[in-house]
Amino acid sequence: MTHAPLQNDRFLRALAREPVDRTPIWMMRQAGRYLPEYRASRETAGSFMDLCRNAELACEVTLQPLERYPLDAAILFSDILTVPDAMGLGLYFETGEGPKFHKTVRTEQDVAALPVPKAETDLDYVMRAVSTIRGALNGRVPLIGFSGSPWTLATYMVEGGSSKDFRHLKAMIYSQPEVAHALLEKLALAVTDYLNAQIRHGAQAVQIFDTWGGTLSAEAYREFSLAYMQRIVNGLIRDHEGRKVPVILFTKNGGLWLEAMADTGCDALGLDWTVNIGDARRRVGERVALQGNMDPAVLYAEPAAIRAEVKRILDDFGNHPGHIFNLGHGITPHVDPEHARVFIEAVVELGAKKNGP
C-alpha cells in the first residue's frame, strides 16, 4: 500500500537528531479521558476494549487531539495489555480498579503453557487500526506504534493486575529466576513480532513503554528489563518505506540507567520528570535524542506556570538537535483541555529554533 508523502516530519527529524524549525511535541495518552470527545466515542463503543477493537473508532479517537492541537505526531490508540490478552489470560477492566486478568502466570507450568501470539492473526484488530489510522492521517503527521516492555507486561500477568509492590513477580525473579526468564523470553518474542507488524501496517516510529522497570534494583533492571528491551531493539525492522523507523525506549523512574539504555542502539530515550533534561543530555551526549519531560501535574497549574515550566525545560535542554517535547508520563484524566492547549502552544512558540543547527 502506498501512503501519502509526509507533510510534517519534524518529529522524525528530531528523532534522527537533525535540525528542525522548532521542537516537536506530542503527549503520552494524548487521545484520552481528558477530552470530552474521547469520552463520547468510548460511550459509543460500549467499553474500552471495544473501542480498541473497532478500527474506525480507534482511528477517530487517535485523530481527536490532532483536530484540537498543533501536535507533531499521532500515537496508535490501543493498550499495552493487548499482548498478554492474546496469550489467553482474559483481560478485563473494573471501573476504578484498572486492568485485571482472569488467569495469572506464577509457575513453570503456567509459563510453559503460554502461547506466543502471532500479531498478524491474534492481534489483527490492532493491525486494522494501524492501517486505518495511517490512511486517515494522509501524511499529516507520523504515526507512532507502541508496546509495553516484557518486564512491564509480566508484572500484570504475574500479579493479575496493577500492583503496588509486585511481590509475586519480584519473589519469582529472586527465587526462580529461570521461570521469570522463560516468561520474559516469550514476551520479548511476542513484542518484537507485534511491533514489526505495526511497522509493516504503517507505524513510522515505535515506543516501548517500560512503565514498571524503575521499581527494580540496578542489577535486576539490567537482567530482567533492559536485556529484553535490547533483544527487541535488535529484532525490529529499522527501515521501511524508504525511511528509518526510530525506536524510543521509555523507562519510568529509569534516570539512573540512561547510559545503559542508550547503549541498546535505540534512537531516543523517553524521560520522566525526575531527571533534569540538560543533565540527561550531557550524560548520553550525541548518541540518542531525548523525549520529555514535563511533570503531567503541571497541567493543573495556572497558564503562566505552565508556560514557565515549558521554558525552563527548553532552556535546560539548550540549543541542540534531538529534543522531542512530551510529558514525563501520560496526561491525566482531570486535566482541563484548555491547559493542554496552553502547554502545546507554549512549546510551539518557545521551541522555535531551539533544535537549531
Residue ranges with strand state E in 142-259: 143-148, 205-210, 239-240, 243-244, 247-251
Grid coordinates belonging to 12: 522524525
29 is in an annotated binding site: yes
Name residues whose C-beta falls within 8 Å of residue 144's C-beta, 6 or more positions apart in sequence: 26, 73, 74, 75, 76, 203, 204, 205, 206, 207
- The label of the residue with cell 528491551 reads 229
198 marked as part of a ligand binding site: no
> Is 32 marked within a binding site?
yes
Q: Residue 184: which H helix or E strand, with range?
A: helix 177-201
Residue 22 annotated as part of some ligand binding site: no
Q: Are 114 and 105 in contact (CB under 8 A)?
A: yes
Q: How many CA atoms does the CB half-sphere of 338 hold within 13 Å?
A: 3
- Residue recorded with cell 507502541: 146
Compute mean pLDDT per 10 residues along the chain, 357 residues long, and list them.
90 97 97 97 94 97 98 97 96 85 97 98 98 98 98 98 96 98 98 98 98 98 98 98 97 98 98 98 95 98 98 96 97 98 98 63
- b vs e for 51-86, b when ≥16 Cβ sit within 10 Å of the residue's Cβ? bbbbbebbbbbbbbbbeebebbbbbbbbbbbbbbbb
Has 211 been labeled as part of a binding site?
Answer: yes
- Distances from the Cα of 49 to the Cα of 58, 80, 157, 200, 246, angstroms: 10, 12, 17, 23, 28
CATH architecture of the domain with residue range 10-350: Alpha-Beta Barrel (3.20)
SS3 239: strand
Q: Which residues are catalytic?
A: 29, 33, 42, 79, 156
Which of 272, 199, 190 is closest to 241 using CA atoms?
Answer: 199
Give the CB-side neighbour count of residue 191, counting CA atoms within 13 A.
31
- CA neighbor of 195 nearest in space, from 130, 272, 269: 130
Task: Tell me whether residue 279 is annotated as binding.
Answer: no
pTM here?
0.97
Cell of 260: 545503559
